[in-house]
Homo-oligomer: A and B are copies of this chain.
Amino acid sequence: MKKEKIPQPTIERLPIYYRSLLQMQEEGIKTVSSEDLGARIGINSAQIRKDLTYFGEFGRRGIGYEVEGLIEHIVRILGVEKERKMILVGVGHLGTALIRYKGFTTKNFHMIAAFDSDPDKIDQDVEGIRVHDLKAMEEMVQKEEVDVGVITVPAADAQRVVDALVEAGIKGILNFAPTQVVVPQHVQLRDVDLGVEILRLSYHLTNS
């Protein structure tokens, strides 16, 4: 697998294929054509066939793709079979909702602790996850070899928290703070800004 050849949009679509295939598996569907998969997710079938060939997956004419086989393949590509440790920083409303969110665990991302600087929150439990003093964050990231930090702090604090996590050896950041943070090239960053999402929706509402 020559990863430098896989286009970014293909990588972005892979989790969407995975999500639909898991739903099909639950429904008891054994094989799927690129047309049926495409109809479910609103992507044309030629694109799906092209995307999957990057990973060496080829459907069989008249039969399509084996759902289970394709899932196993995508699990390996996405690295879902690997257990990863995660912490959350900033136990506000969104942080609390994310601690309670089950969709991380099903993808083998395990929340092991949360951090905040508010004395009222420190040493409390949220859904079985202990909230620690922010000061203890770097030590835990190093000691537990935490993979991913979920950032739900105010914009003004985000870069400082990210720098501390990077310093402590974090490998990835999922940033919900409404600001751009900077990470060195060896650290993976994904931004989820609800404000940006609503503005994109606003554009399409305005210009349609």
Query: A-side interface residues toward B, CB under 8 Å?
Result: 3, 11-12, 14-16, 18-20, 23, 40-42, 77-80, 82, 84, 93-94, 96-98, 100-101, 103-104, 106-107, 109, 147-148, 155, 171-172, 174, 178-180, 182, 186, 188, 190, 192-208
Contact = CB atoms under 8 A, between A and B. Distances in A.
A199 B98 contact: no
A78 B190 CA distance: 23
A172 B79 contact: no
B174 A188 contact: no
Quick one: copies of this chain in the complex? 2
Nearest to A74: B199
B196 A190 contact: no
A98 B178 CA distance: 14
Given A93-B97, A106-B195, A172 B14 contact: no
B190 A201 contact: yes
A194 B195 contact: no
A37 B7 CA distance: 26
Contact of A188 (B77, B94, B208): B208
A180 B20 contact: yes
Contacts of A109: 198, 202
Contacts of A107: 195, 198-199, 202
Given A42-B180, A96-B97, A103-B194, A11 B202 contact: no
Given A103-B195, A103-B198, 18 more contacts: A14-B199, A15-B199, A19-B180, A20-B180, A42-B182, A80-B199, A84-B202, A93-B97, A93-B101, A96-B97, A97-B97, A103-B194, A107-B198, A109-B198, A172-B204, A174-B197, A186-B208, A192-B197
